[in-house]
Structures are given as structure tokens and as C-alpha cells.
């Protein structure tokens, strides 16, 4: 089994290599691709030095391609990768809304991955983190309405987003004026309620992605979802305040008990002991932290929760690798017939 990463030098690519290093995925070769600028660069993997190659225009000699070089690269090249026999697990939004492309969070709808036709989409990071916590509550209590406010780290804009936060913070602390380039405004000591493009309805595309993708993953087109997405000056890990209106009432204790037995979730909920989800504790963790679980004052029988999940891990690299692991465990990941 040959695995390739396209976008290996980026923020998600870096995490993909770290997650693969410790993964149970059985593969014999890892190939690294990025832009021609990075060709020849050597990156360490399992005690070896792997050489980054320029991403070719056509097929790649790999069975699984983990793509995280952005939507335009995926859109342009994934059809050739699929034609070459590879399974593409794509981190971009290029194919997420195609009816024949499964959008998968393995703990929630892993089975959907089995029906792929060559491409499986990894959800938007904010959505992936939220659905891990919301899916079990939806299954048991029926979510009618979900209101989300996000606190999103600069890692959501890739390596250059994190660099902009560090560089501009340094500049501002030294009395220099910072000009924004990745973000719409200077990000240090600021919060920016603007992620991705504004839509005709006044929401941003990031906010609409949460609605579109959550519905697709949970398989419930009737779910009413409203999101406000905000960029904050942290390096990694997205946090989200989530309000749920439920069909059948749930108490906070019932929700905590259910979430304690949910794969991918760590219940971190002891306000007296100052224990709640935070980027500080959730960064680098595979599980999504869930806490501040309380009865909603907005919806009778509903719930309020706060979640924090590492955007680069569950929101991207980890989820992609978990999809491949899931398929292999199901016997649905095989080397291409006649592959060299
Ligand atoms: P490179 O480092 O050579 O520019 P991030 O999301 O952190 O910004 O990372 C984006 C990733 O996509 C990087 O690995 C980057 O490689 C890669 N990339 C950017 N442009 C291209 C391209 N034209 N072809 C292949 N990979 C690309």
C-alpha cells in the first residue's frame, strides 16, 4: 500500500506526517508532494529522510492520496489521480457538496465512506469538531436547531496564518504598525467576525459550510443551523459555543454520561475545578474537549455546550487518516490492481 501526501509542506501536511507516523494504517511507502518551490526538501519520517517532489500534472503512483494543497489543486488534479486508480481523501472544500462524494467523520458516519467513487471529502474543520459532540446527542435526543458561535485559530488559514499572527504580534509589541495580508484586518489583540467570503444572505461561506456540512454528515436536511464564525488570535485549536434545541429533553447529566462514552470526545466539565475546554489543553490532542454542559435558558429541555478541538488534527489531518484506517479495518482499502 502506497500513501501520498499532496501539500506535505503545509500546516496540515506537517500534521498528516505526524499522525501517519503513529497510525495503525498498514502501508509500505509514503510519498511527499508540494509546489515546485519545495521540490528537493527533505522531511523526516520514521527515522528516514523523505524527499519532497513537485506535484505532477497527471496520475500519482499511490493507492491513497491525502490532499491538502487547497481547493484549486484538488479540483484540477484529483480526477487524474482517481483515473490512475488512487483513492483521494481530500481536505479541501472542492468536492464536499457533490452528491456522489461522501463527507465523512468516521465516528459519526464512517459507513458513508464505503460508498465512495474515488474521492472522499474531509469536512471543514469547524464542522468536524462540532459533529463529534453533536452527533450522539442528535441520535438520542433529536437536534431540531443548532446555534454555533466559533472562536477559530489562525491555523485555519494554514501555515501562513500562524506566521502572520506571530510576526504581527512581534511588530505590535515593538510599536510597529502591522498590515494584514492573510486576514482581513490585523489579528493580534483583535477578533475578526469574517472568515471566507460574504454570501448574499449576509452569512460568510465558513458559516454556511457549518450548516451545509453538518446536515450532510448527520444525514438530516431538516436540521436548522445558524453559525457566526470568528477568527481569534490563537495559533491552533478551534473552540465553539453550541446551543441545541432538542426534540426530546435532555439533562446535562444525561448528556455528560452519553458523551463520556463517545469515541473522539473527552468530557472536560468541572467548573468548580476550573476544568473546561480550552485551546491550551485541546491543542495536540486527538479527542475533542467538551464541557460547560448546562441546561439551555434559550430552549426548554435543550443544552448549551462548549467544545475545543485541534483544527489541524480532528479538524483536518487526523480525520483524514482515520478515514483511511476505517476503510482498511473494513477490508475496503486495497492496493490498486496491477499497480507498480
Ligand atoms: P509549498 O510549501 O511548496 O508552497 P498551507 O495550507 O499551510 O498554506 O499549505 C499549503 C500546501 O499546499 C503546501 O504544502 C504548499 O506547498 C502546497 N501547494 C501550494 N501550491 C501548490 C501547487 N501549485 N502545487 C502543489 N502544491 C502546492
Burial 304-315 (b: 16+ CB within 10 A, else e): bbbbbbbbbbbb
> Is 231 annotated as a binding-site member?
yes
Is the pLDDT at 338 greater than 80? The verdict is no
Q: Cα of 20 to ligand 1 centre, how many Å?
A: 19
Rounded CA gap, 142 and 220, in Å?
Answer: 10
Residue numbers annotated as active site: 125, 238
Nearest C-alpha neighbor of 130 from the set 259, 31, 32, 34: 259
Give the model confidence (pLDDT) of 57-67 as tens digits: 999 999 999 99
For ligand 1, mutation pick of 34, 155, 182 (most atoms within 8 Å of CB): 34
pLDDT of 340 over the 50 cut: no
What percentage of the chain carries pLDDT values higher than 90?
A: 97
DSSP one-letter string for 172-183: HHTTPPP--SSS
Closest ligand 1 atom to Cα of 38: 3
pLDDT band at 339 (very low <50, low <70, confident <90, very high): low
CATH topology of 2-123+317-329 equal to that of 127-311? no
Pairing state of beta strands 303-309 and 64-67?
Answer: unpaired
Q: Whose CA is nearest to atom 4 of ligand 1?
A: 35
Reported as a single tens digit per residue, the pLDDT across 90-131 is: 999 999 999 999 999 999 999 999 999 999 999 999 999 999
The dotted CATH code for 127-311 is: 3.30.360.10
| pLDDT recorded at residue 254 | 98
Strands (E), the chain: 2-6, 29-34, 42-45, 48-54, 64-67, 87-90, 119-121, 143-151, 224-228, 238-246, 265-267, 288-295, 303-309
pTM of structure: 0.96
Instruction: Evaluate: CB of 69 within 6 angstroms of ligand 1.
Output: yes
Q: How far is the CA of 266 from the centre of ligand 1 (A)?
A: 33
Share of the chain above pLDDT 70, in %: 99
SS3 332: coil
- Segment (H or E) for 77: helix 71-83
288 lines ligand 1 (CB under 6 A): no
CATH superfamily of 2-123+317-329: NAD(P)-binding Rossmann-like Domain (3.40.50.720)
The SS3 assignment for 141 reads helix
Q: Whose CA is nearest to atom 22 of ligand 1?
A: 35
Q: Say yes or no: CB of residue 160 within 6 Å of ligand 1.
A: yes
Cβ of 7 less than 6 Å from ligand 1: yes
What residue spans define the domains of the chain? 2-123+317-329, 127-311
CA dihedral 285, 287, 292, 296 (to 10 degrees): 150
Residue 245's beta-bridge partner residues? Answer: 145
Amino acid at each position: 500500500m502506497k500513501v501520498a501526501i499532496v501539500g506535505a509542506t503545509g500546516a496540515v501536511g506537517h500534521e498528516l506526517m505526524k499522525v501517519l507516523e503513529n497510525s495503525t494504517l498498514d502501508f509500505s511507502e509514503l510519498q511527499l508532494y508540494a509546489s515546485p518551490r519545495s521540490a528537493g526538501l527533505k522531511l523526516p519520517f520514521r527515522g528516514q529522510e523523505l524527499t519532497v517532489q513537485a506535484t505532477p500534472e497527471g496520475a500519482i503512483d499511490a493507492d491513497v492520496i491525502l490532499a491538502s494543497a487547497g481547493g484549486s489543486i484538488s479540483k484540477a488534479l484529483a480526477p487524474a489521480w482517481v483515473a490512475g486508480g488512487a483513492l483521494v481523501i481530500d481536505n479541501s472544500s472542492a468536492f464536499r457538496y457533490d452528491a456522489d462524494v461522501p463527507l465523512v467523520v468516521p465516528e459519526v458516519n464512517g459507513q458513508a465512506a464505503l460508498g465512495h467513487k474515488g474521492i472522499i471529502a474531509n469536512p471543514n474543520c469547524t464542522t468536524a469538531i462540532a459533529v463529534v459532540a453533536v452527533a450522539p446527542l442528535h441520535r438520542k435526543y433529536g437536534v431540531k436547531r443548532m446555534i454555533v458561535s466559533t472562536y477559530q485559530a489562525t491555523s485555519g488559514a494554514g501555515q501562513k496564518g500562524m506566521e502572520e499572527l506571530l510576526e504581527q504580534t512581534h511588530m505590535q509589541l515593538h510599536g510597529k504598525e502591522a498590515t494584514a495580508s492573510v486576514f482581513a484586518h490585523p489579528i493580534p489583540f483583535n477578533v475578526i467576525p469574517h472568515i471566507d467570503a460574504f454570501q448574499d444572505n449576509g452569512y460568510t461561506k465558513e458559516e454556511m459550510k457549518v450548516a451545509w456540512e453538518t446536515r450532510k454528515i448527520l444525514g438530516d436536511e431538516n436540521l436548522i443551523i445558524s453559525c457566526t464564525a470568528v477568527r481569534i488570535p490563537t495559533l491552533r485549536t478551534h473552540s465553539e459555543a453550541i446551543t441545541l434545541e432538542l426534540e426530546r429533553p435532555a439533562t446535562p447529566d444525561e448528556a455528560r454520561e452519553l458523551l463520556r462514552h463517545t469515541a473522539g470526545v473527552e468530557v472536560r466539565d468541572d467548573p468548580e475545578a476550573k476544568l473546561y475546554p480550552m485551546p491550551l489543553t485541546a491543542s495536540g490532542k486527538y479527542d475533542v474537549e467538551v464541557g460547560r454542559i448546562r441546561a439551555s435558558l434559550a430552549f426548554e429541555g435543550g443544552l448549551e455546550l462548549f467544545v475545543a478541538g485541534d483544527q489541524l488534527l480532528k479538524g483536518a489531518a487526523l480525520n483524514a487518516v482515520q478515514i483511511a484506517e476505517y476503510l482498511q479495518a473494513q477490508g475496503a482499502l486495497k492496493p490498486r490492481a496491477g499497480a507498480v
